Amino acid sequence: MAEPERHKLAWMDLLWLAFLAGLAVLQPVSEIHKQLTLLAIGVFQIFEHRFIRLVPARGRAYSVILKIVLASVVVNCTGGIYSSYYLIYYLPVVTAAMYFEAWATLLWTALTSVVYCSFLLWVLDFIWVFGEYELTVEGATELAIRNLFFFLAAIIVNRFVTENRRQAQRHRELAETLAETNRRLEQVQEEARRAERLAALGQLSAGLAHEIRNPLGVIKGSAEMLNKKLQATDTVTAELAGYISSEVNRLNTIVSRFLDFARPHELDLHPQEIPGLVDRALKAVRDRWPEAQVQVERHYAENLPLVPVDGDLCEQVFTNLFLNAYEAMGSKGGKLQVRIAVAHSDGRPGVEVEVEDSGPGVAPELRGQIFNPFFTTKTSGVGLGLSIVSKIVDDHRGRIRLASEPGKGACFQVFLPAE
């Protein structure tokens, strides 16, 4: 639990108290109410921000009202309309200019002016009773000048504060833009590094696959010849020869996957509807896992544009993603959500497909390696499935990303540009 924030007395607070102390010791010195009121103003000014946090909805309005009241008490104690302390009314005027917009500032300033001019009514009431007073033109002009200066100070301070807020907002927006740009730059750099790794490993895999396939053919041919010659005379040897042949077939399948990963894809692009490709991939995976207790939820947007893709390769992309989702959820099953919507990436329009499962998700330390060739967390397999998926998407000039929280499933986002 966070500790409560403690207000520390800054040097500006001490300076503020010093100025108010100077007003307190000036004439009239014997007026204790003036001194106590100035002390109250100083204490409130120091703890004003804490007061506003306690009453966030109307704290600023209450602050201005309280300062008007305290300023009026000071003026009343020091001569009313004749008081030299009338300048204390700049305190609520400036406060309103700092807290509110222009029109609200003018209204608060008008209220302050009305409160100050109300002292004139007390004087006039006294005159009607005792006489001996006349409001001259010079006096009325002086009163008007004082009130106009209230409005002038309010407008100047409010304009300065408003411009400062605009600059602060521009800086925040610029900081957010820079942060977003840096994030995208990091993603692009990571994708570029991944593409370089894929290209280098692809060339290596192609060379190794060709070199491995030749001796595999010799081994398989030899095993089949032994099997034919020894099948009638030595059943044990014939059975071992059969094992050799079946394992060679399995190795040949792995080599074929290496070649699929390394071989550049010649895309046969045609404008197609992505939901149709997704549905065919879902059906293929359900036919392969008929016993899986997986609830599939489809959320397809309407009026999706046609996307130029290689249908067979894209269907392979979605099939691999669905197979990974089924395997992640296991025999207990779960929920598979497929969302298709219009999206934009780097200013390019297109279609985004999200495949989200309810499995255990991917650990944060493994997210950067999930698309690397030969990386896998499964007990079987060579870790080329997602690498091939990433390569196919890259060949379509799209992007694939992983969003995953441990224990909350994995969500793969595939963007395919419409142009």
pLDDT digits (tens, 9 = 90+) for 151-178: 999 999 999 999 998 999 999 999 998 9
Contact present, 362 and 166 (Cβ < 8 Å): no
118 pLDDT above the threshold of 50 = yes
pLDDT in the model for residue 39:
83
Residue type (1 letter), 414: V
90 pLDDT above the threshold of 70 = yes
Q: Which residues pair with 342 in a beta bridge?
A: 351
Q: Distance (Å, rounded) from C-alpha 243 to C-alpha 168?
A: 74
| Dihedrals phi, psi of 410, to nearest 5 degrees | -120, 145
pLDDT in the model for residue 10:
63
Instruction: Pick 382 or 63 by higher pLDDT.
Output: 63
386 pLDDT above the threshold of 50 = yes
**Residue bearing tokens 């520390």:** 8
What sign does the dihedral 37-41-47-52 (CA atoms) show?
positive
124 pLDDT above the threshold of 60 = no
Of the listed ranges 209-213, 230-234, 331-335, the one predicted with least confidence: 230-234
What sign does the dihedral 44-45-46-52 (CA atoms) show?
positive
Domains of the chain from N-terminus onward: 11-135 (no CATH), 197-262 (1.10.287), 270-417 (3.30.565.10)
321 pLDDT above the threshold of 60 = yes
Q: Distance (Å, rounded) from C-alpha 205 to C-alpha 137?
A: 100
CB atoms within 10 A of CB 316: 19
Q: Which residues pair with 176 in a beta bridge?
A: none
Q: Distance (Å, rounded) from C-alpha 290 to C-alpha 300?
A: 24
100 pLDDT above the threshold of 50 = yes
Contact present, 151 and 94 (Cβ < 8 Å): no
pLDDT in the model for residue 2:
40
CA distances from 257 to 110, 263, 327, 328 (A): 81, 10, 19, 22
Percent of the chain with pLDDT over 70: 79
Over residues 248-272, the mean pLDDT reads 73
Residue type (1 letter), 41: I
Q: How confident is the model at residue 348 (pLDDT cuts 50, 70, 90)?
A: confident
pLDDT in the model for residue 171:
93
DSSP structural state of residue 128: H
